[in-house]
Amino acid sequence: MTAEWTTERLLESDRRHVIRSWSVQGIRAKVAVAGGEGSWFWDTEGNRYLDFQSQLVNLNLGHQHPRMIQAISRQAEQLSYIGPSFAERSRTELAEMIADVAPGDLSMSFFTTGGAEANESAIRLARHMTGRQKIVARYRSYHGATAGALSATGDPRHNAGEPGVPGVVRMFDPYTYRTPSGQPPESCPVCLGAPHFEEILGYEDPSTVAAVILEPITGTNGILVPPDGYLRSIRETCDKYGIMLIADEVMSGYGRTGEWFAVDHWDVVPDILTSAKGLNSGYVPLGAMTVGDRARDWLNRNKLWAGQTYAGHPLACASAVESLKIIEEERILDNVREQGARLDAGLRLLAERYPMIGDVRGRGLFYGVEFVRDRETREPLVPFNGPAGPMSRMVEDAWQRGLYLSSNNNILRLTPPLVVQPEEIDIALGVLDEVIGLAQARFDD
C-alpha cells in the first residue's frame, strides 16, 4: 500500500479495482489525469487536452474554478452535513436562487444527488399527483441510469435486458434533419408536436397518462433542436388533458444553450423541471427537481414519497449557490452566445468543405455535427447503434491532437465549458478541420 503512485501503478490498479460505467471491464483507462484548469486538463505525463466535452457535459464552469473551490471549503469549514429535515442556509439560498432564474411559476426544489434521481422523483411525483400510471417518453432520449429513469430512456441503453419500470409509452422525436415521417419538418406530424402526440394519446387514453418527459433540446442522442412551435404544441396538448410536462434540463439547463434553460428559447413553462450537471458544474454531486404551482399545491396537502440521505447536501448546495452567482457575475450567458456563434460559424465553414458533414445544429455551446455517406440521401456515415468505425477514428484522431470530444452514432458532439475562450474555439476548429479532412480523404478513397 505504500508503493509510489507511478502512472503505471495507477493505470494498472485502476484496471483491476475500479468498475467503469457503460463499459466492459479489464481495459486500461486512456490516461491517468493529474489536474485541470479552465477548459484544459492534463495527464500524469504532462500531456494537455482541450476539454470539448466538459467531461460529461457537466463541467460548465471548467476545471478548478477558484470561486467554486473556495465556496466548497468555506461550507466544509462551517457545516459539512445536516439532514434534509432542517433549514440550512446553503440549501434554502439555492432553492430561492433557482426560483429566481427558473421560468414561470417554478419556485420549489427537491434536491437529489444527480440527474437520474431528479427524473425518478419527477416521474413518481407526476404519478402520485395525477393518479395515472403512463409516462410518455421519446426514443432518442437519455434520462438516467436508475430503474425508472432508464425505463423512460429511449436510447439503446434501456434494452440491456431488464424488464424496467412499467408504464412507459414511446413517442418519436422532432428530428428535423431526419423526420420520422419523411416529410419536411413544416408538415411532419412529429415535428409539429400535437398531431403525433394526440395520435399516441388516442391509442393510450389520455386519462391514463400522468406525464410526458422530454429533453427540450436533446443532448446525448444527437443535439436535436425542435422546430419553433413544437414545445408549445406539446405544452398545450398536456394542458388539454391534464397531463404534466416534465422538462429534463439535466444537460441543457443553467446556460448551456445560451439561455438559463432550453425551454426559455420558446417561453414554455413545464410543470416540473429537472436539472443537475450545470447546476453546480459537477463539483459536488447534485440534482434538482423544481416544481410550479400545480405541484406546490399538491405537495402542501400530500406527502412526498421520496428522499435520500444526501438530498440537499450542504457542500453541493453551497457550490451551486456560488455557481449561479458566477453565471451572473461573470456574464457566462453572454460568453456562451458569443463563443457559440464563433463555433457555429467555424463549423459551417467546415461543412462547406467536407461533403461528409450533413448537418450542423445546436444552440449556445450545445452543438452536434452529423456525418453522412451521401448528402442527397442523408444515409448516416455509420449505422444506428452499429459499429462506429470512422466516427470513433475521428474522436481518437482528435484525442491524439489534444482535443477531447465524443460522438453518438453518426454525430460528433461539441460541448465545451461555458467559460471557453475564443482562441480555444479556434484551436478546436483547427483540430476538427484536420481530423475531418483525414476522415473525408479515407472515405473518398
Query: Is residue 264 within 8 Å of 307, Cβ to Cβ?
Result: no
Instruction: Establish if 219 lies at the interface with ligand PLP (CB under 6 A).
Output: yes
> Which residue among 114, 253, 312, 362 contacts ligand PLP (CB under 6 A)?
114
CB-nearer residue toward ligand PLP: 114 or 255: 114
CB-nearer residue toward ligand PLP: 278 or 340: 278
Q: How far is the CB of 403 from ligand PLP (least distance, A)?
A: 21
**H, E, C per residue of 83-151:** CCCCCCHHHHHHHHHHHHHCCCCCCEEEEECCHHHHHHHHHHHHHHHHCCCEEEEECCCCCCCCHHHHH
Number of residues near ligand PLP (by CB under 6 A)? 16
β-pairing verdict for 406-408 and 411-414: antiparallel
Exposed (0-12), middle (13-18) or buried (19+): which is 24, by Cβ within 10 Å? exposed
Binding segment (CB under 6 A) for ligand PLP, from list 92-100, 186-194, 247-255, 350-358: 247-255
Binding segment (CB under 6 A) for ligand PLP, from list 87-95, 125-133, 212-220, 425-433: 212-220
In angstroms, the Cα distances linking 376 to 187, 257, 314, 372 are 20, 29, 54, 9
DSSP notation for 368-384: EEEEBS-TTT--BSS-T
Q: List the interface residues with ligand PLP, window 279-298 (CB under 6 A).
A: 287
Q: List the interface residues with ligand PLP, window 251-280 (CB under 6 A).
A: 251, 276
Instruction: Establish if 368 lies at the interface with ligand PLP (CB under 6 A).
Output: no
Binding segment (CB under 6 A) for ligand PLP, from list 79-87, 113-121, 361-369, 375-383: 113-121
Binding segment (CB under 6 A) for ligand PLP, from list 81-89, 111-119, 128-136, 391-399: 111-119
Contacts of residue 328, Cβ cutoff 8 Å, sequence gap at least 6? none
> Which residue among 88, 120, 155, 248 contacts ligand PLP (CB under 6 A)?
248
Q: How far is the CB of 4 from ligand PLP (least distance, A)?
A: 34
How many angstroms separate the CA atoms of 14 and 4, rounded? 14
Binding segment (CB under 6 A) for ligand PLP, from list 160-168, 245-253, 347-355, 395-403: 245-253
CB-nearer residue toward ligand PLP: 22 or 86: 22
Instruction: Establish if 116 lies at the interface with ligand PLP (CB under 6 A).
Output: yes
> Which residue among 215, 359, 397, 424 contacts ligand PLP (CB under 6 A)?
215
Q: How far is the CB of 284 from ligand PLP (least distance, A)?
A: 12
> Max alpha carbon distance in the chain (Å)?
68
Binding segment (CB under 6 A) for ligand PLP, from list 163-171, 185-193, 248-256, 303-311: 248-256
Q: Is 14 helix (H, G, I), strand (E, B) or coil?
A: helix
> Which residue among 54, 60, 109, 220 contacts ligand PLP (CB under 6 A)?
220
CB-nearer residue toward ligand PLP: 248 or 397: 248
Long-range contacts of 428-434 (CB under 8 A, 24+ apart): 428/50, 428/52, 428/343, 428/403, 429/343, 429/346, 429/347, 429/350, 431/50, 431/398, 431/401, 431/402, 431/403, 432/346, 432/347, 432/350, 432/398, 432/403, 433/350, 433/353, 434/397, 434/401
CB-nearer residue toward ligand PLP: 116 or 238: 116
Q: List the interface residues with ligand PLP, window 23-62 (CB under 6 A).
A: 56
Which single residue brings its beta carbon nearest to ligand PLP?
115
DSSP notation for 291-358: E-HHHHHHHTTS------TTTT-HHHHHHHHHHHHHHHHTTHHHHHHHHHHHHHHHHHHHHHH-TTEE
Provide the mask over 123-162, with x wherever binding to ligand PLP is found by CB under 6 A and - wherever it is not: -------------------xxx------------------
| The three grid cell numbers given for residue 181, joined into one nine-digit string | 415521417
CB-nearer residue toward ligand PLP: 144 or 340: 144
Binding site for ligand PLP (CB under 6 A): 56, 114-116, 119, 142-144, 215, 219-220, 248, 250-251, 276, 287
